Amino acid sequence: MYEDFYLRIIFSESILSTGSPHPRIANRWRMEPFHHIHRVRLGSLIVGSVFAVNHAFAQETLLGPIEITAERLVTPTKQAEETVYTGTAVTAKGIELQGAKASMQVYGAIDILPGVSTEQPDSSGLGVEQSSVRLRGVRSSLGTITVEGIPNYGGNPIGPRDYLYDMENMASVSVYKGATPADIGAGVGTRGGAIVLHPRWPGDEPGAELVQRLGSNRFTRTYARLETGRLNDSGTRMSGAFSYSEADKWRGPGDLGPRANANLMLVQPMSEDLEFEVWLNHNDQDQHLYRPLTYDQVSDLGANRDLDYNAERTGKAAQDIHYYDYNRGSYDNTDLLSVITYDPGDGIRLSFKPYYSKEDTQVLQGTTSGGGRVQERNRDIERWGLIAEAGGEIAGMSAVLGYHYEHTDMHITTRNYAITGSGLAYRGYGILATTGTTHINSPYAKLAGSASGFDWQVGLKYFNFRDAESEGYTTSGAPDYGLVRAPDLDRAARTHEIWLPSAGVSYDLTPETQVYASYGKGFIRPYSYIPIINAYNGNRAAFQAAGVTLDELFSGYDMEESDTIDIGLRYRGERFELMPTFFLARYRNLLTSVSDARVLVNGRPISYQQNIGEATGYGLELAFNAYLSDRLTLYVNPTYTRLTYDDDLTYQGTSLATKGNQVVDTPVWMGQAGLIYRWGDLEIAPRVRYLGERYGDSVHTESIDEVFLTDLTLSYSTKRLWPGKRLKASLELNNLFDEDYVAVINASDDSRGGSPSYYPGAPFTAMLTLGVEI
């Protein structure tokens, strides 16, 4: 049926360059074929049957592409020194397909994957820390984002900062939703998955890139990147990139941005067996916040979709907490890391990854306390650490030993301001929440090999987190509003520790079919400090009368734990590829509201959070790609998820009927489907996103309807206009039919009725992109 037409295998330019491969590359990075076919007929052309390393110095191996018209959007991935693919990577093409939001937010770049639900209040990607992202129903704040395995995170809110990077500076993004390889720095934990960013390290050839985006709501973004290429005989290579972005909010007054991002990379071979890489990233961003809505308000979106903060002050404090300029944030982050790789030969490989991170953030928000105030949340966080690793071959097996150490100085404070006729007036610190020095000590080991046709791997990590002690203070009255010592608000230092095993096995049933299974234990270190401190401080007299201190409440905080099993299949035939994964997860020590009969407020037991909850999750993810012709590709990525409470929850002395209920903000069904049609230099890519019914509370009284959203991208790319240059142009149309829908539910996993907040989704927006590569 098909002509005898053969294709050659493509290797990354970083592997096959104008010079010979670096010895470290030749030793460390070998082809990892799914099955060994070196050429394929036209009928097999789309279905890549040979995989290559995507980037020579990345810490993960991707199933690489073959030369086909239809570029792959996602691909299985694994860490270096492993034999079983336990993750999924989004390629540069997959990131590009998801438009503007994927260029500035990591979660926007992985939204195409099954099992990932990315909910954002804005389509530009400039709105930060107001989104809700879940992997298999678990909040992303309970997971980790890393660059080359080095974690990025902060506090208040806990978890990764996904808005720090220009994704054009990344070669790919790898996601582990189940078992997390031991050599990925965990940060605050892995219960919500692990994401690894692979930098686009500078190559041997010089180059430049300039991209300009324009769109609805005065959105503009300019991105530029320059690569020096190989500068000297030693192989010195550098790159520099800068972007500037800003937009109006689509509802209400105020701006998103400006956002300025700068990135520098250096690759310096020191000798044939020693290489030094440096990565520096700085992100400076401002924004006015979107106003969260209540369930009653989003129940009538036709009347309230555009409801937001007030454009003018009224002179009444209770109203002016909704003044837009009293609800804004400023975010400043700097990250520096280095990857030092030494390959002395004889199969031994050493790597050292020192890093430093600095966060300086202020967020203003109106609050109803005291008749109407504005609170300023301040985050001053400094982290530095080292990941050291040794690898080698032992009796035909790959072995890795490593150690992760981190030192963190975290100072999170809240300051109160009264709303007066002339503006804001300082009224002292509200609470001193998380202060002091914390430490992470985490050794790990991995073994991987093959036997009797099976590929296998095992890993073990020990995670030890030493939390800082904290002294308690209250605020005195006028005129100085100074700090007053409060011993009942003290917290003692605590150590939390856990062992984290992982394992995986795979077997090739046929050259086209592979089955695999994996297991991993995940965790999240204690979090949500501000709510329990607020609960104590707001009812301090009642707690004192009962003889209960804040430290006693914190004694009930522990690590949340998860155990996840994945069982899957990968099939790549002549016309399609099919990758279903069944997953099963058990969650323990979940942070859950409990009632305390010792402490009565208005005659009823007070409630606060403790780590006592349990939940069970299972489901099926499917990644399906059909290559209908050399011009037309179809992809369908549905997910079925059941994540339910194991028991009823207690709240304010009563029991809530939550046993068996789906966890909040987790649809049973969700998915994406799309077409990619290529006609010469033109590409047309319509996409449909489906998000099933969700609930904002644990007893399912606040239901959010299902929604279908349609997007369309038209792209033109050619190298024929100027020799050596590539011209790109695209038109991105989001929410094509202008659907009214709830995009974001901000809720804890045990939320009760009335406590969640909601954000409407952006209406129809259009964005134009023009770019040139030299």
Q: Which residues contact 70 (CB under 8 A, 6 or more apart)?
A: 46, 627, 630, 633, 676, 678
Mean predicted confidence (pLDDT) in 627-635 = 92
Poorest-confidence range of 31-40, 458-467, 520-529?
Answer: 31-40
Confidence of residue 655 (pLDDT cuts 50, 70, 90): confident
Confidence of residue 34 (pLDDT cuts 50, 70, 90): very low
Q: Is the pLDDT of residue 619 over 80?
A: yes
pLDDT one-digit tens code per residue, 300-337: 999 999 999 999 999 999 999 999 999 999 999 999 99
The span from the CA of 508 to the CA of 502, in Å, is 21
Q: Which residues pair with 560 in a beta bridge?
A: 524
Q: Is the pLDDT of residue 364 over 60?
A: yes
Q: CA dihedral in degrees (730, 736, 741, 746; nearest 10)?
A: -10
Contact 201, 188 (CB under 8 A): no
Contact 73, 626 (CB under 8 A): no
Mean predicted confidence (pLDDT) in 337-363 = 95
DSSP code at position 684: E
DSSP code at position 9: B
Mean predicted confidence (pLDDT) in 632-649 = 92
Confidence of residue 725 (pLDDT cuts 50, 70, 90): confident
Question: Integer distance in angstroms from the first to the last C-alpha of the chain?
Answer: 40
Secondary element (H or E) of residue 554: helix 550-554
Mean predicted confidence (pLDDT) in 515-542 = 91
268: left (phi over 0), alpha (psi -120 to 50) or beta: beta
Kindly list the domain boundaries of the chain, sorted by start residue: 23-773
The span from the CA of 24 to the CA of 1, in Å, is 44
Poorest-confidence range of 41-45, 138-142, 251-255, 409-413?
Answer: 41-45
Q: Is the pLDDT of residue 374 over 60?
A: yes
Mean predicted confidence (pLDDT) in 208-214 = 96
Confidence of residue 651 (pLDDT cuts 50, 70, 90): low
Task: Find tokens 């504005």 and name the residue.
Answer: 374
The span from the CA of 284 to the CA of 585, in Å, is 38
Please report the pLDDT score of residue 353 as a whole number.
Answer: 97
Q: Is the pLDDT of residue 370 over 90?
A: no
- Provide DSSP, 687-748: EEEEE--EESSTTS-SEE--EEEEEEEEEEEESSSSTT-EEEEEEEEESTT----EEEEE--
Coil, strand, or helix at residue 232?
A: coil
Superfamily the domain 23-773 falls into = TonB-dependent receptor, beta-barrel domain (2.40.170.20)
523-542: buried (b, 16+ CB within 10 Å) or exposed (e) per residue?
bbbbbbbbebbbbbbebeeb
Mean predicted confidence (pLDDT) in 30-52 = 30
Taken in order 580, 711, 628, 68, is the CA torsion positive or negative?
A: negative
Please report the pLDDT score of residue 432 as a whole number.
Answer: 63
Please report the pLDDT score of residue 528 as a whole number.
Answer: 86
111: left (phi over 0), alpha (psi -120 to 50) or beta: alpha
Mean predicted confidence (pLDDT) in 733-737 = 96
11: left (phi over 0), alpha (psi -120 to 50) or beta: beta
Q: How many CB atoms lie within 10 A of CB 615?
A: 23
Secondary structure (H, E, C), 465-489: EEECCECCEEECCCCCCCEEECHHH
Mean predicted confidence (pLDDT) in 188-215 = 95
Please report the pLDDT score of residue 314 as a whole number.
Answer: 93
Contact 115, 177 (CB under 8 A): yes
Q: Is the pLDDT of residue 729 over 50?
A: yes
Highest mean pLDDT among 7-21, 230-244, 657-671: 230-244
Q: How buried is residue 303: exposed, middle or buried, by Cβ count under 10 Å (0-12/13-18/19+)?
A: exposed
Report which of residues 506 and 25 the model is more confident about. Answer: 506
Phi/psi at 27 (nearest 5 deg)? Answer: -80, -40
Phi/psi at 292 (nearest 5 deg)? Answer: -75, 145
What average pLDDT is seen over the chain?
87
Secondary element (H or E) of residue 540: helix 540-545
Q: CA dihedral in degrees (80, 85, 90, 94; nearest 10)?
A: 130
The span from the CA of 410 to the CA of 415, in Å, is 16
The span from the CA of 107 to the CA of 73, in Å, is 15
Q: Is the pLDDT of residue 12 over 60?
A: no
Q: In angstroms, what CA-CA distances link 589 with 180, 246, 556, 558? A: 20, 41, 10, 7
Phi/psi at 371 (nearest 5 deg)? Answer: 80, 0
Q: Is the pLDDT of residue 477 over 90?
A: no
Q: Is the pLDDT of residue 32 over 90?
A: no
Confidence of residue 434 (pLDDT cuts 50, 70, 90): low
Phi/psi at 306 (nearest 5 deg)? Answer: -95, 5
Q: Is the pLDDT of residue 63 over 70?
A: no
Strand 560-572 to strand 513-524: parallel, antiparallel, or no bridges (unpaired)? antiparallel
Secondary structure (H, E, C), 365-433: EEECHHHCEEEEEEEEEEEEEEEEEEEEEECCEEEEEEEEEEEEEEEEEEEEEEEECCEEEEEEEEEEE
The span from the CA of 448 to the CA of 394, in Å, is 10
Confidence of residue 573 (pLDDT cuts 50, 70, 90): confident
The span from the CA of 225 to the CA of 686, in Å, is 29
pLDDT one-digit tens code per residue, 451-470: 988 999 999 999 999 999 98
Confidence of residue 45 (pLDDT cuts 50, 70, 90): very low
In the chain, % of residues over pLDDT 90: 66
Poorest-confidence range of 486-490, 528-532, 563-567?
Answer: 528-532
Q: Which residues pair with 184 in a beta bridge?
A: none
Confidence of residue 276 (pLDDT cuts 50, 70, 90): very high
The span from the CA of 268 to the CA of 275, in Å, is 6
The span from the CA of 578 to the CA of 473, in Å, is 58
